[in-house]
Amino acid sequence: MLKKWIIVFLVLCLAVPAGICLAEQNYTPGTYTKEGNGMHGPLTLEITVDEHKILDAKLTAHMETPGMGDEAAKSVLGQLVEYQSLDVDTLTGATVTSRLVLNAATELLKEAGADIDALKAPRERNYDQTTEFTADVVIVGGGGAGLSAAATALEEGASVVLIEATDILGGNSLVVGGFMNAPIPELQDHHFEARSASIESLITDALAEEPVSEEHKALQDAVRADYEAYLKTDKTLFDSANWFALQTWNGGDKLGEIKMVEKLAGAAYDDMQWLIANGQEFRDTVTLGGGALYYRSRYAVLPNGLGYITAIKNAIETNKGDRLTLLTSTHGDSLIVEDGKVVGVKATNKRTGKEITARANNGVILATGGFAGNVELRQKYCEGEKWPDLSAKVLTTNTSGVRGDGIFMAEAAGAALVNMEQIQLLPYCNPWTGLVNDVVGGGDGSSIFLNKEGKRFVREDGRRDDMSKAIIAQTDGMMYIFGTAKSYGVTDVRDCKTLGGQPVSYLLDTNPNGYIAADTLEEMAEKLGFPYENLKATLDSYNEHVRAGTADEFGRVTFKDVLEEGPFIATARKPAAHHTMGGVRIDEMTHALDSEGNIVPGLYCAGEITGVIHGTNRIGGNAIVDYLTFGREAGRNAAQGK
């Protein structure tokens, strides 16, 4: 955890000035508990008071997003106790949770006999007047890429100013699926009982393709050599950095730059080891993440992206000394360019409106993410033949602070933008919220996708764009992810957990349209409104392929369990805008490049803000590898002024 960060709230110092007296309260002493509504489900709040003072306030149960909603709750309740006031600051990035927790606290304090009007009276706050900062490296964006860049720059001995538009570090990297890809020899040597002909067909098919360039041929030859060496061993699953690179490049329709894809694939294993060295815990299995296309995904123990962000923060804490200044709730507005070189950032504090100047001795790193949540931008750049409707009707998985602003900051400084029309819709999202943290099952081989007629319609281990387009073409543009207790590794489906760690029992009880369980296939068909004969025929056909281990009529090649014995569970899902593959053109050292391929001096970019890696479709599990590989590269090079 990050302790003792030099956090500059140019906002409010959150301190009651000397001489300001709060109205004395007369509480009925005791501990009060209340269940209220959170953003994603119920939360339980506990407050303890004596005659005149709030002694403690905490959540004892909740279903909020790990690292985001729970951090907002801690902040709000911490302020409540520290300042004995309901005039607290909500956290941008988790405003809804902040207000819901504050509402629940208000109701509890009423019960304790509080004078609520007095508790809500405005507190005086001191403002930090500092508006000028200088460091070796200035970073805009506190998500995965920005934090990775900060950690590495600090490891290199540089001083860092990190600017983040919200009050919560992590951004979209907190709400990811929680798995990353890497060839992991120690876990893949004997992953299966026997070699799988259907899985190995992925390799032989890729090697049989006619190369479209010399780079493509060279990469194929490297994979061929790796594969031939593998065939002489008793290993049961083939993988290598070269195969990872070839599959990633092919999976984006060969639009990405091969050298950039090779860098990503080649760094993945080292990135994973760096995380582990900084406290990250992974499950000891290799699996198939949703849209990952191959068995090289590894899930974190902690839900969503919390484990990754925590590990990166640990690396920052280990190396920061007094060399880190963190400016939260501060929006990067523009780059400062002098004599053709980027030398700093102009920013605005979002609470006070004060203009901030952060100057960089060595370089500026933009890590502000993409624009999948920005309806105006995605319609402007990405709406077309592939995705004819990207209006507000299409929900998003993105957090509110990720708007694509940094892309245009870079462009204004001379950087070229590429592949801006490329956007990914994630097929596994909640039809009413767009979020993915409440998904059960997905693309790991444990489930199938059913339309409203009770039939399969797409390969579940395929590309995310293909799956999303296929779902949109179904009745009501939605599907059900269908699995069994056995396929999900439990005895009772009520014991399942969502991707974000939520108990499925609550969702089954409160959201009957979105989460449905049944003991028999007949009961499930009735609850879903499927013709039983359709559902039975669908499962019979699928189970035949599972037993045979052969590719099915949709091209699926990965299988886990037959789906024939209840209890069964189905969850409603719909695609949502997830990731933009276009953005700033960069080189292997993360320098921003202009339209002629020349370096924009002093400017580095990393993460989803860039546009040269993923092509038309980002492979599931590669976003984390991307932000680690190129975030660390940017931090290293900016620190050294390379």
Hey, what amino acid is at 75? S
Lowest-confidence range among 126-130, 315-319, 561-565? 126-130
| The pLDDT value given to residue 23 | 65
Asked whether residue 434 is domain-assigned, the answer is yes
| The pLDDT value given to residue 18 | 35
DSSP state of 638: H
| The pLDDT value given to residue 129 | 73
The answer to whether residue 20 scores a pLDDT higher than 70 is: no
Sign of CA dihedral 392, 396, 401, 407: negative
Between 431 and 91, the more confident residue is 431
Q: What percent of the chain has pLDDT over 90?
A: 79
Who contacts 185 (Cβ-Cβ below 8 Å, separation ≥6)? 239
- The residue count for the chain: 642
Lowest-confidence range among 210-214, 327-331, 496-500? 496-500
Domain CATH number, residue 492: 3.90.700.10
C-beta contacts of 98-104 below 8 A and 24+ residues apart: 98/72, 98/73, 100/36, 100/37, 100/38, 100/39, 100/43, 101/36, 101/38, 101/43, 101/45, 101/59, 101/72, 101/73, 101/76, 101/77, 102/76, 103/36, 104/34, 104/36, 104/43, 104/45
Q: Say how far apart CA 558 and CA 202 lie, in whole Å.
A: 10
Lowest-confidence range among 7-16, 92-101, 542-551, 592-601? 7-16
pLDDT of 376-387, one tens digit each? 999 999 999 999
Q: Say how far apart CA 394 and CA 466 lie, in whole Å.
A: 17
The answer to whether residue 152 scores a pLDDT higher than 90 is: yes
Return the closest-CA partner of residue 232 out of 197, 199, 186, 195: 195
Domain CATH number, residue 70: 3.90.1010.20
The answer to whether residue 8 scores a pLDDT higher than 60 is: no
Structural contact between residues 355 and 131, judged by C-beta atoms closer than 8 angstroms: yes
Structural contact between residues 300 and 312, judged by C-beta atoms closer than 8 angstroms: no
Between 11 and 408, the more confident residue is 408
pLDDT of 47-64, one tens digit each? 999 999 999 999 998 888
The answer to whether residue 336 scores a pLDDT higher than 80 is: yes
Quick one: how far is CA 69 from the chain centroid?
14
| The pLDDT value given to residue 153 | 98
Predicted confidence band at 559 (pLDDT cuts at 50, 70, 90)? confident
Return the closest-CA partner of residue 364 out of 144, 135, 161, 137: 137
Any bridge partners for residue 357, and if so which?
132, 346
Asked whether residue 305 is domain-assigned, the answer is no
The residue from 56, 87, 120 where one domain ends is 120
Q: In sequence order, what DSSP letters do the residues of 53-71 get, joined into one string?
A: -EEEEEEEE--PPTTTHHH
Q: Say how far apart CA 95 and CA 164 lie, in whole Å.
A: 16
Which pair of structure tokens corresponds to residue 38? 């959170």
Q: Say how far apart CA 283 and CA 305 lie, in whole Å.
A: 14
How many structural domains comprise the chain? Answer: 2
| The pLDDT value given to residue 1 | 40
The answer to whether residue 221 scores a pLDDT higher than 90 is: yes
The residue from 88, 120, 152 where one domain ends is 120
Asked whether residue 17 is domain-assigned, the answer is no
Considering the entire predicted model, what is its pTM?
Answer: 0.92
Would you please indicate which residues are annotated as catalytic (active-site) residues?
Answer: 464
| The pLDDT value given to residue 147 | 98
| The pLDDT value given to residue 188 | 79
Asked whether residue 244 is domain-assigned, the answer is no
Asked whether residue 508 is domain-assigned, the answer is yes
Any bridge partners for residue 448, and if so which?
482
Provide the domain limits for residue 65.
30-120
| The pLDDT value given to residue 123 | 87
| Mean pLDDT over each residue of the chain, to the nearest integer | 92
DSSP state of 335: E
Who contacts 99 (Cβ-Cβ below 8 Å, separation ≥6)? 90
Asked whether residue 361 is domain-assigned, the answer is no
The residue from 72, 104, 120 where one domain ends is 120
Predicted confidence band at 22 (pLDDT cuts at 50, 70, 90)? low
Predicted confidence band at 13 (pLDDT cuts at 50, 70, 90)? very low
pLDDT of 169-198, one tens digit each? 999 999 888 999 999 988 877 777 788 888
